[in-house]
Amino acid sequence: QPESIIGGKSFTAVAVNCAAKAGEWIKSKMGNFTQLDTKYSMHDLVTEVDKGAERMIRNLIATHFPTHSFLGEEGVEPGPEASAKALQDVSEAEYLWIVDPVDGTTNYVHGFPFYSVSIALAYRGQVIVGVVYDPSRDELFVAERGKGAYVHGRRMQVSKEAGLNKSLIATGFPAEQHVALPANMKGIQALAPKVRNLRVAGSAALHLAYVAAGRLSGFWEYNLSSWDIAAGSLLVEEAGGRLSDLSGRPYDIAVRNVSASNGLIHEELLEELQAAART
């Protein structure tokens, strides 16, 4: 069993503190950052705020838990191979922090107020703490394994829609669009006529938090990385939802093609996506 308190500071308290501090700084820099670069593709942006926020979070975690391992998006070379290798390199870690300092950088760059800070702690590969913070709305989503998921102290529960026809579903367009776009377009084309409506709001971590909060019935996306999903995965599970890869295999931190839902529509969602992928 993992210790939940080390040196008098609970893991969750540190995660929340990191998210709040980084989030406040990120928000204060909105519209006045100076560096904008592309990484893996023209769809993959990075600013000095992404890098600065990750440094801030990493340092704060190292101060409290110097023996823990750390995996953050901006510490890894761009692209899927480097992401997979970076995750492989820390696969033996007892405690591993998985961090996306700004999830939704494209939104951030354009001033579209839907981005988040995503911080997860995994113990022997299993996520035990998940925190997603939305600075624009000052919404803090927190989950601890076995203890439920909360938004600003209020317990979250997934939605109750039992069919796709009453569902609001989100998806995303990843940085690897040249690989993922054909599959994703098939999914969109198959689902659009069958669901109440679709959303593509631009932060995978927040989409997952919204599934947990019952604001979305489900979410799927291809070609994500561990830091996009890890924190949100626990929010969804602890709010009573279901999470898997697109073949239905239960989520683990290496999953890249993810589907999350209120549980009730999960099979239907997977069937539609699988049938679409076969066309």
52 binds ligand IPD (CB under 6 A): no
* Residues 92-121 contacting Ca ion, CB under 5 A: 100, 102-103
176 binds Ca ion (CB under 5 A): no
144 binds ligand IPD (CB under 6 A): no
Q: How far is CA 39 from the centre of its chain?
A: 19
- Written as six digits, the tokens of 148 are 């439920």
Q: 149-151 and 45-47 as β-strands: parallel, antiparallel, unpaired?
A: unpaired
Q: How many residues bind ligand IPD (CB under 6 A)?
A: 16
Site string for ligand IPD, 89-128 (x = CB under 6 A): -----------x-xxxx-----------------------
The interface region with ligand IPD, picked from 51-59, 155-163, 166-174, 264-272 by CB under 6 A, is 166-174
Site string for Ca ion, 29-68 (x = CB under 5 A): ----------------------------------------
- Identify what 134 binds: ligand IPD, Ca ion, none; CB under 5 to 8 Å per kind: none
Secondary structure (DSSP) of 90-107: TTT-SEEEEEEEEE-HHH
* 141 three-state secondary structure: strand
203 binds ligand IPD (CB under 6 A): yes
135 binds ligand IPD (CB under 6 A): no
Residues at the binding site for Mg(2+) are 73, 100, 103, 228
Strand locations in the chain (E): 5-6, 9-10, 36-38, 45-47, 69-72, 95-103, 116-123, 126-134, 139-144, 149-151, 154-155, 168-170, 197-199, 218-221, 242-245, 258-261
Q: Which residues pair with 151 in a beta bridge?
A: 141, 154
Q: How far is CA 119 from the centre of its chain?
A: 9
> Considering only residues 54, 73, 221, 237, which one is a binding residue for Ca ion as defined by CB under 5 A?
73
Residue with tokens 């683990």: 252
Q: Which residues pair with 130 in a beta bridge?
A: 120, 143
d(CA 73, CA 54): 8
87 binds ligand IPD (CB under 6 A): no
Q: By C-beta, is 105 or 244 nearer to ligand IPD?
A: 105
Q: How far is the CB of 222 from ligand IPD (least distance, A)?
A: 8
Which residue has the CB atom at the shortest distance from ligand IPD?
172
Give me the residues that bind ligand IPD (CB under 6 A), please: 73, 100, 102-105, 172-175, 202-204, 221, 224, 228
